[in-house]
Amino acid sequence: MMKFWILLLCLTPALAKADIYKSVDADGHVTYSSAPVKGANKIVLTPHNQPEHARASNTPESFPSVNKATQRNRDGSRRKILEDELQAEQDLLNAIKQQIAQLPKDGQKPEELVKQEVLHQGNITAIKTEISRLK
């Protein structure tokens, strides 16, 4: 467990501002420390292997973009589509529930109806999540 935390510390230089030193004793035991120890080597941590353009924080001027009004229209269209899909899924779920309600109370629900009910409930949850992510 201790090795896990040491490894985590080594792999997250943004969280650990101190230098890290690694030493190996005569028996081959490896020790990591934030303080320099005689015979220890400083570990130089580098960012993940990312292309230079992936590390850049500024968007190039030549990058295609749309104005706020166009984006607002696109977002509005997306919301309308998602709301229509949500209504359709809710209607389908209600129809399945009506079919189930008409079954004899002592009988078991047909497997296909149960699968459809679960499918539509999952779709409704996913659409609601997507709608909640809209601005």
pLDDT in tens, 21-49: 888 888 888 888 888 888 888 887 766 65
Domain extents in the chain: 2-45, 68-132
Q: What secondary structure does DSSP assign to 47-90, as a single string?
A: --S--HHHH--SPPTTS----HHHHHHHHHHHHHHHHHHHHHHH
The candidate with the shortest Cα–Cα distance to 45, out of 12, 5, 15, 23, is 12
Contact at 8 Å (CB) between 33 and 40? yes
pLDDT (tens digit per residue) in 59-108: 777 888 888 899 888 888 999 999 999 999 999 999 999 998 888 887 77
Q: Which tokens is 30 given? A: 């490896």
Tens digit of each residue's pLDDT (9 = 90 or more) over 96-121: 999 988 888 877 778 898 899 999 99
- pTM value is 0.51
**Measured CA angle at 67 (ends 63, 68), to 5 deg:** 130
